[in-house]
Amino acid sequence: MSWTRKILRVNLTAGEITTEPLNMEWAQKYLGQRGLATKYLSEEMDPNVDPLSPENKMIFATGPLTGTCASTGGRYSVITKGPLTGAIACSNSGGYFGPELKFSGYDMVILEGKSPKPVYLSIFNDNVQLRDASHLWGKSVWDTDDEIKAEVQDPLAHVAAIGASGEKGVLYACIVNNKHRAAGRSGVGAVMGSKNLKAIVARGSNGVDVENPDAFFAATDAGKKVLAENAVTGEGLPAFGTQVLMNVINETGALPTRNGRDVQFDGAHDISAEAMAEPRRADGKANLTTNVGCFGCTIACGRISTIDPTHFSLQGEGRDRYKHNSGGLEYEAAWALGASTGVNDLDALTYANFLCNEHGLDPITLGATIGAAMDLYEEGIINSDTTGGLELKFGNAEALTKACELVGTAEGFGVELGMGSARLCAKYGRPELSMTVKGQEFPAYDPRGIQGMGLTYATSNRGACHLRSYTVSSEILGIPEKTDPLVTEGKAGLVKAFQDATAAVDSAGICVFTTFAWTMEDIAPQVNAACEGDWSVDNLMEVGERIWNLERQFNMAAGIKGDQDTLPDRLLKEAAKTGPAQGLVAGLDKMLPEYYELRGWSTDGTPTDETRARLGL
């Protein structure tokens, strides 16, 4: 139960659409979504393929709790080999697209090959078609969403689409659904564009059955009560969104600023959740309009914002369309577009974030790449001649917004920025200025001030990522217990536990934000009541560990070895200048050997035969 037990397979090269039963033996070992799709990808594809070649496959996958009444049961993931990193990519999104795919009767869609012309995939229960998308090619995500809904004549259909950035191979292009929810990292949108697939639209009328309805309703009701009574999920996130962290992390001395030169930003308050809620405009209105939730979500951390119509970023032909839109700054985007570039102009950042939504761009890599370009500019490595007139100086809001426009349409210097910071900095002979792990830019937590996040970034299977092991919960927020962010002791075990638990949560089809309040003791009863089989806490944690090791094996087969479990020299050798972490560097060398030992890996980071046998790999 809970799985639909059916897969949709689409060969884009031949235009063939078939269905097949879900491998339930694999489902019992990998649960769904992230884990199960990674198993399919690993079994069906050579990890050494070029990510942008027809040989790369991509899988849109739901979890067993997707589309159910479990709180936040609206998640889906896109799993493929990422072009930004060359590693396993799994980008998770909320909104309403995932449930519609599940309601159509499919646990996942496996996409193979490359269409000879632009197409979009239409899924209405058993009526599945590849439709011509030539008229949509070159259009934005927003326009594509509107036009496809008009064509299928169903305003309740939900669309996941790419913009021109995905079509033109921006290496961190993402896939956007509901106009502001995104499968955001590692370049999954570029893979979709390489296949000439503009969008997928889904509308389903099937329900989702669960194994034990009475037990499931009891478990989900209990889970919702825990979320409502928790200070983070019941108060902080609904009121302030993830942006509640901006001032907190800045005061902690762990806000990467100006491409990691500093760990605190003097303009942090200007771009914070508190600033978004303040009625600071001439008309008496605030940047923040309201909050919004995804399918089945009882937290509602999403933001809807409005830009001051008199702001410079809205002056110019066609820009007024950005005054009102569903979407608003979340913490990672505000940090990357703001602190990382030294820009503290809230309206400029909101506009840049809208550009990411419309054109399908990962704001973390975009902002961090522009920050790296500003570092190159300040160092005199590039200049306005190189950038086509952009004065990429730290703090230049107009240059930031123009750069975002150029990347969105892959024009001018936007083509070079669209490579990501690792390739950009290497091109200009300064690779050390790229704040990346395995080619992916790290997010909004400086490992000098939050030591566990350094190990998290270094060992993440999809390149630097906070959503694979959010030790900030423990080190800063004290969830589930408080640990000291400035010490390395105990962090190896903490990171491993977070990684395994998060892999299981992602595979279930629920949002990782629930874990601010829920432990596995809250999640296991919901999965166990929904699905056949044994889904105890211990079994779920073992599933998470199995998934983590499977991803590791994929990467090692793709040539990504243990020597890439590292951090940029700036974090390892240049001490924090201010704040509680002043004088500290990231202590990765103290944590990594213990982490390998706890994982059951060799000293070079390879899973041992014993570990693989224990996990059934």
Q: What is the pLDDT of residues 4-59, one digit of tens each?
A: 999 999 999 999 999 999 999 999 999 999 999 999 999 999 999 999 999 999 99
| 472 confidence band (pLDDT: 50, 70, 90) | very high
Would you say residue 252 lies in a domain? no
Question: What is the reported pLDDT for 323?
Answer: 77
The set of residues, in sequence order, having a beta carbon less than 8 Å from that of 128 and lying 6+ positions away, is: 8, 10, 17, 121, 122
Residue holding tokens 């990782």? 512
**pLDDT tens string 95-136:** 999 999 999 999 999 999 999 999 999 999 999 999 999 999
- Which one of 377, 406, 434 terminates a domain? 434
**pLDDT tens string 305-348:** 999 989 999 888 888 888 777 789 999 999 999 999 999 999 99
Question: What is the reported pLDDT for 395?
Answer: 98
Question: What is the reported pLDDT for 283?
Answer: 85
Residue 256 pLDDT greater than 90, yes or no: yes
522 and 596 share one domain: yes
23 and 150 share one domain: yes
**pLDDT tens string 397-429:** 999 999 999 999 999 999 999 999 999 999 999
Residue holding tokens 């840049």? 352
Here the CATH number for the domain that contains residue 600 is 1.10.599.10
Q: List, as one string, the DSSP characters of 89-156.
A: EEEEE-TTHHHHHHHTT-SEEEEES--SS-EEEEEETTEEEEEE-TTTTT--HHHHHHHHHHHHT-TT
**pLDDT tens string 512-571:** 999 999 999 999 999 999 999 999 999 999 999 999 999 999 999 999 999 999 999 999
Taking each helix axis as running N to C, give the angle between helix 346-359 and helix 141-152, from 0 to 180 degrees, rounded to the nearest 10.
Answer: 50
User: How do the residues of the chain divide into helix, strand and coil, expressed in percent and rounded to 5?
Assistant: 45, 15, 45
Across 475-493, average pLDDT = 97
366 and 480 share one domain: no
379 and 460 share one domain: no
Question: What is the reported pLDDT for 280?
Answer: 84
What are the Cα distances from residue 355, in Å, to 165, 189, 432, 542, 603?
A: 11, 15, 28, 40, 44
* Encoded tokens for 346: 């809230």
Under a CB-based contact definition with an 8 Å cutoff, are residues 237 and 290 in contact?
no
Would you say residue 439 lies in a domain? no
Would you say residue 226 lies in a domain? no
**pLDDT tens string 447-470:** 999 999 999 999 999 999 999 999
Name the region of 437 (left: φ>0; alpha: ψ -120 to 50; beta: rest). beta
417 and 460 share one domain: no
70 and 118 share one domain: yes
Helix (H, G, I), strand (E, B) or coil at 362: coil
Segments forming the whole domain that contains residue 412: 257-434
Under a CB-based contact definition with an 8 Å cutoff, are residues 474 and 482 in contact?
yes
497 and 426 share one domain: no
From CA 59, how far away is CA 112, in angstroms rounded?
A: 9
Helix (H, G, I), strand (E, B) or coil at 599: helix
Question: What is the reported pLDDT for 267?
Answer: 98
Number of folded domains that form the chain: 3
Element (DSSP H or E) covering residue 19: strand 16-21
Under a CB-based contact definition with an 8 Å cutoff, are residues 327 and 305 in contact?
yes
- Which one of 373, 408, 434 terminates a domain? 434
364 and 480 share one domain: no
Element (DSSP H or E) covering residue 349: helix 346-359
Question: What is the reported pLDDT for 320?
Answer: 83
The set of residues, in sequence order, having a beta carbon less than 8 Å from that of 25 and lying 6+ positions away, is: none
Would you say residue 289 lies in a domain? yes
The set of residues, in sequence order, having a beta carbon less than 8 Å from that of 556 and lying 6+ positions away, is: 606
Question: What is the reported pLDDT for 318?
Answer: 82
The set of residues, in sequence order, having a beta carbon less than 8 Å from that of 442 and lying 6+ positions away, is: 256, 368, 435, 436, 457, 464, 465
Question: What is the reported pLDDT for 400?
Answer: 98
First CA to last CA distance, the chain: 25
Would you say residue 240 lies in a domain? no
Would you say residue 484 lies in a domain? yes
Would you say residue 73 lies in a domain? yes
171 and 308 share one domain: no
For the chain, give the mean pLDDT: 97
- Which one of 382, 404, 434 terminates a domain? 434
Question: What is the reported pLDDT for 499?
Answer: 98
376 and 475 share one domain: no
b/e per residue 328-356 (b: at least 16 CB within 10 A): bbbbbbbbbbbbbbbbbbbbbbbbbbbbb
Q: List, as one string, the DSSP characters of 480-496.
A: SS---TT--TTHHHHHH
424 and 465 share one domain: no
From CA 527, how far away is CA 106, in angstroms rounded?
A: 19
Here the CATH number for the domain that contains residue 346 is 1.10.569.10
Question: What is the reported pLDDT for 1?
Answer: 75
Residue 154 pLDDT greater than 80, yes or no: yes
Question: What is the reported pLDDT for 459?
Answer: 98
Would you say residue 573 lies in a domain? yes
Helix (H, G, I), strand (E, B) or coil at 224: helix
Question: What is the reported pLDDT for 194?
Answer: 98
Short-list 32, 204, 40, CA closest to 128: 204
Residue holding tokens 């952009």? 390
Under a CB-based contact definition with an 8 Å cutoff, are residues 15 and 130 in contact?
yes
From CA 111, how far away is CA 359, in angstroms rounded?
A: 22
272 and 358 share one domain: yes
Angle at 331 between CA 326 and CA 336, to 5 degrees: 100
The pTM of the full predicted model, rounded to 2 decimals, is 0.97
From CA 178, how far away is CA 274, in angstroms rounded?
A: 26
* Encoded tokens for 75: 């998640």
